[in-house]
């Protein structure tokens, strides 16, 4: 924003100082205002927070997505309405009953989840209308007027992919990313068991299932969080020739059997099943960080939905 040369005349022409602050904030941003000689920090901090609807929050993110909104997407409202005034936002992997209860405690009425709320990719609920678990969850959301929006397709389409950006940061692997492939990492030579220990520590995973030799020397790692499916897993393995493949989840009769046969053939390759939720949770946390930078006056919290499975 370019101010007139005569700042004093410019300022005295403003009859409503709050309106001036609001317009200037939109033009140059709060960080610039804090260093401005004619705007006090107290005035900015004491300004009333802006009110947002669910639709306005969603639209903020969609502005950064090429060709959004998509004609076909699973990223739709699962409960609530677009015109709900947002009191607080919770980001998470799954909008579980526990996460919903936590949102209620936090007085947050907008949950942004990465994965389905009602047990299928499309969140089709026609077949669940008489199901008691579905009814309990849907009623809980309705009772507290909570909107749930799935942010899956858009988050993965964002540049960078929000899930990968969050996961790479959580693993502290930024310097190992290969520019020609966002899923391939080249680490200093180490043992397979040390790669697994590092990932478990960084992602707070208690135990993992794996296929491989603990003392195998590893450098090339293929990172495929979530459930991208056997066709992508196998295509990426064939293309990248990794020492280790880290996936969120996999069908046991698909990717797992492929790696078993590859090892029997003589390939030096290992596979780790991290768990779907823990492998993409950093993406939901990334989304919370993004939102905090866009709506600083609104409560934004990340709630971990956790891995539901335990080991005996």
Q: Annotated binding site for a divalent metal cation: which residue ranges? A: 114, 276, 280
d(CA 87, CA 146): 10
Residue with tokens 């709900």: 84
d(CA 195, CA 56): 42
283 near 251, Cβ under 8 Å?
no
d(CA 110, CA 100): 10
Partner residues linked to 190 by β-bridges? 218
Partner residues linked to 246 by β-bridges? 223, 272
Q: And the tokens for 222?
A: 């293929």
d(CA 1, CA 169): 34
- In sign, the C-alpha dihedral spanning 82, 88, 92, 95 is negative
Mark the binding-site residues, compressed into ranges. Answer: 114, 276, 280
Rg of the chain over all Cα atoms, to the nearest angstrom = 24
Strand order across the 110-113 sheet = 77-79, 147-150, 110-113, 89-92, 300-302
From the CB of residue 85, how many other CB atoms can be counted at a distance below 10 Å? 12
């Amino acid at each position: 924003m370019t101010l007139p040369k005569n700042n004093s005349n410019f300022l005295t022409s403003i009859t409503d100082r709050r309106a001036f602050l609001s317009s200037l904030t939109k033009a140059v941003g709060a960080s610039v205002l804090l260093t401005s000689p004619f705007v006090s920090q107290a005035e900015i901090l004491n300004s009333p927070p802006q009110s947002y609807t669910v639709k306005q929050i969603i639209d903020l993110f969609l502005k950064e997505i090429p060709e959004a909104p998509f004609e076909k997407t699973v990223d739709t409202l699962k409960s609530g309405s677009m015109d709900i005034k947002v009191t607080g936002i919770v980001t998470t992997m799954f909008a579980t009953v526990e996460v919903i209860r936590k949102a209620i405690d936090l007085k947050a009425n907008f949950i942004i989840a990465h994965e389905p709320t009602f047990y299928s990719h499309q969140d089709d609920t026609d077949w669940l209308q008489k199901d008691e678990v579905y009814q309990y969850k849907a009623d809980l959301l309705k009772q507290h007027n909570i909107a749930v929006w799935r942010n899956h397709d858009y988050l993965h389409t964002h540049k960078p992919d929000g899930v990968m950006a969050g996961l790479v940061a959580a693993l502290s692997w930024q310097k190992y990313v290969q520019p020609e492939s966002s899923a391939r990492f080249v680490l200093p030579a180490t043992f397979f068991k040390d790669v697994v220990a590092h990932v478990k520590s960084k992602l707070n995973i208690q135990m993992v299932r794996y296929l491989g030799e603990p003392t195998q020397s590893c450098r090339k790692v293929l990172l495929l969080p979530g459930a991208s499916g056997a066709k992508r897993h196998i295509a990426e393995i064939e293309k990248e020739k990794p020492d280790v493949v880290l996936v969120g989840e996999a069908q046991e009769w698909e990717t797992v059997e492929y790696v078993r046969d590859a090892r029997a053939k003589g390939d030096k390759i290992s596979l780790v099943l991290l768990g779907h939720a823990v492998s993409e949770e950093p993406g939901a946390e990334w989304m919370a960080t993004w939102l905090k930078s866009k709506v600083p006056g609104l409560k934004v919290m990340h709630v971990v939905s956790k891995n539901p499975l335990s080991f005996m």
